[in-house]
Amino acid sequence: MTDEDTSSDEQKAASKVKDSITPVITDAAKDLAEHLKQPAQQAVESLTSTATDAAATVKGESTSAASDLKDQAQEATKTVQSAATA
């Protein structure tokens, strides 16, 4: 048997292994993708909900801080006006 014959036999054997294992790997990849699909969707929904809640919290805190600042400014204005008329 020559090196060419050995190489050809090795290529044939490798091709047979590839042909037999490819469907198994493809099926396993499909099963894994299907298995991960639902948890990924749940993660996206959870992230969306958390982001929405965070945005509402930031909006509420900003509104509260703006209101507090407005009240402080009005009090400062009254204090300055009282001091100016005294």
Looking at residue 38, what is its pLDDT?
93
More confident residue, 29 or 9: 29
Indicate whether 1 pLDDT > 60. no
At position 12, the amino acid (one-letter code) is K
Indicate whether 69 pLDDT > 80. yes
Following CA atoms 29, 32, 34, 40 in sequence, which dihedral angle do they give, to the nearest 10 degrees? Answer: -120
**Whether pTM exceeds 0.85:** no
Render pLDDT for 17-65 as a digit per residue (tens, 0 to 9): 899 999 999 999 999 999 999 999 999 999 999 999 999 999 999 999 9
* DSSP code at position 2: -
What is the pLDDT confidence band of residue 2, given thresholds at 50, 70 and 90?
low
Taking the domains of the chain in order of start, what are their residue ranges?
1-61
Looking at residue 4, what is its pLDDT?
64
